[in-house]
Structure 1
Amino acid sequence: METLKIVFLWSHVRSVSTAFERAFIQREDYVTFHEPFGEPCYFGPERIYSYYDNELSAHAEYLNVTFSQMIDQILKPTTSEGKKNVFVKDMARHVVRPDYKSHRENPTVLPIEFLKRCKHTFILRTPRKSVPSLYRAYVRSNQKFIHDDIGYPELQVLFEFLTELIGTPPTLVEADDLVEKPEAIMRMYCESGIDDRFETNMLEWKAERIEAFDKWPGWHDMAQYSTGFNQCQQATDKNDELILPDDIQELIEKSMPIYEKLCEFKLRV
């Protein structure tokens, strides 16, 4: 009997990962989860960041959510009636401990047994595009820019830890490659990355509201109202007119070595 899959796509912020998730929303044989560990990371009793501590009352529905509860939800579609595979898109930053250097045996908040049960994949985008995109999102929402939110160090920590845990580097997609050659990359990702079939309906989708994206208003508009990866490419190329402060430029340069190191493991077509 075929073992049902739990596939994770781990990402950093503004990495075209939500568009990648849209591709799996198209598939009838998968249940998708959109950043399920964000709630316990920021709002629950086990939260590992304090960014929203002054806004907890506005997120009352998440105050009791734990990481183990999210794990139970992820496991449920594989065991319930009408069993399905699971695709989870989430940020490495949501599960890597801030003091990960003191937890070398497991730098994440997730149990080793659960991590071993899942198939882990990654998506990576150049900081020269992701950082300006993140900066623009903060400016647009009138929020103070959080430098650490970009998440490259956590992505590297998780990638290296899972490589050691599993014994081989996880499949890694480079975002520009994806939007330039979506069919080739998605086919390789499915067939050799997660040992599954590729479906052509993963390349295009209907422009429509996705209810799961509502918990982060304004952050996923392109992924919702585009119709495919080509439109995502057009959006990523609109950073040229943006004047970046010195600290944002510094964040780009600081993040580039991590990007370049991880790119050594990317899918190549």
Structure 2
Amino acid sequence: MNSRDKKVFLWSGPRNISTALMYSFAQRQDTVVVDEPLYAHYLTRSPAKPLHPGADDILSSMEVNGEKVIEGMQKEGKKQVTFFKNMSHHLIGLDWDFMKSGANVILTRDPKDMLMSFSEVIEEPEMSDIGYAIQLELLDYFTSIKLPFVVLDAKKVLKHPEDQLYKLCNFLNIPFDHAMLSWQKGPIPEDGVWAKYWYKNVHLSTGFQPYRQKDITFPERLIPLLKECQPIYEKLLKDAL
């Protein structure tokens, strides 16, 4: 990457700490953040559109052609660093070659925690909705072409935010900035139009919230999906910071 035009591609699943991480990077003076630029593309290629609140607003306010979105992602950024918050399952039908132009970060989360949270909005999720399988494909892709990448585990970030962000910045070859550890309550201008449906907890926060194990009975209907996700999560953890 050009030292004055670093691109960071975050590949997350839903109901993770991806929005908090975007808010963290938004505090840097050298960074501009972009919120899920491929969301509209995903909605045009996925049968999940009826399940996503605000889908019509997303489609009317964003570029729906994923190839054009990727072209835009390749342009020189307005600041030294451009942080693209992406959902891994938004990559339907796209060529991954563009990932070579930036630093790639896979953000994963314990599937038990993720599924509990995601099912509060979409009651019957499928693997194609939550990104674990594609994250494993991304890991294998990066490994096969020897493209450097890093895996972040949400639980470790919440338990040790400064340490994890310091290590992440070291991987990205940018200086760690303590400003990344906190932000003001409320939305930021870079929020997608879907923020009112998904970002309530981040809007109420002023930093990474301490990890707390929820004492809630896991829904039986989600156990088969959990069993699919768990071995993928464990494999991803082997490359985690």
TM-score range for the pair, normalised by the shorter chain length: 0.7 to 0.9
Alignment of 1:188-207 (within 5 A): 188-191=167-170, 193-207=171-185
* Distance of 1:181 and 1:151 partners within structure 2: 24
Q: Which residue of 1 aligns with 2:48?
A: 51
Q: Which residue of 2 aligns with 1:23?
A: 24
1:228 pairs, out of 193, 204, 207, with 207
* Distance of 2:147 and 2:181 partners within structure 1: 28
Give the root-mean-square deviation of aligned CA atoms.
2.4
TM-score in terms of structure 1 length: 0.79
* Distance of 1:254 and 1:179 partners within structure 2: 24
Q: Which residue of 1 aligns with 2:153?
A: 174
Residue 110 (str. 1) matches residue 98 (str. 2): no
Decide which structure has the larger Cα Rg and report it.
Answer: 1
Q: Deviations over 1:194-235 (max 9, x none)?
A: 11110000001111113423325321211222111125x35x
1:159 is displaced (CA, Å) by: 1.8
**Aligned partner letter, 1:74:** M
- Check the 8 A contact 1:213/1:220 in 2, yes or no: no
Q: CA 1:200–1:263 in 2, change beyond 3 Å: closer, same or farther? A: same
Q: Which residue of 2 aligns with 1:141?
A: none
* Distance of 2:75 and 2:96 partners within structure 1: 17
1:246 pairs, out of 212, 220, 230, with 220
- Check the 8 A contact 1:9/1:88 in 2, yes or no: yes
Q: Which residue of 1 aligns with 2:43?
A: 42
1:64 is displaced (CA, Å) by: 5.8
Q: Deviations over 1:133-181 (max 9, x none)?
A: 111233xxxxx5232312110111112112222x155111111110000
Q: CA 1:159–1:69 in 2, change beyond 3 Å: closer, same or farther? A: same
Alignment of 1:27-176 (within 5 A): 27-43=28-44, 47=45, 49-52=46-49, 61=60, 65-78=64-77, 83-97=79-93, 109-110=94-95, 112=97, 114-138=98-122, 144-148=123-127, 149-165=129-145, 167-168=146-147, 170-176=149-155
Q: Does 148-157 or 198-207 show the bigger shift?
A: 148-157
Higher relative contact order (CA 8 A, sep 6+): 2
- Check the 8 A contact 1:96/1:154 in 2, yes or no: no
* Distance of 1:60 and 1:198 partners within structure 2: 36
Q: CA 1:69–1:199 in 2, change beyond 3 Å: closer, same or farther? A: same
Report the 3-state secondary structure (helix = DSSP H, G, I; strand = E; otherwise coil) of the residue aligned with 2:113.
helix
* Distance of 1:70 and 1:125 partners within structure 2: 27
TM-score in terms of structure 2 length: 0.88
Structure 2 unaligned blocks of 5 or more: none
* Distance of 1:155 and 1:123 partners within structure 2: 9
Structure 1 unaligned blocks of 5 or more: 98-108, 139-143
* Distance of 2:59 and 2:235 partners within structure 1: 40
* Distance of 2:163 and 2:19 partners within structure 1: 19
- Check the 8 A contact 2:16/2:114 in 1, yes or no: yes
Q: Which residue of 2 aligns with 1:101?
A: none
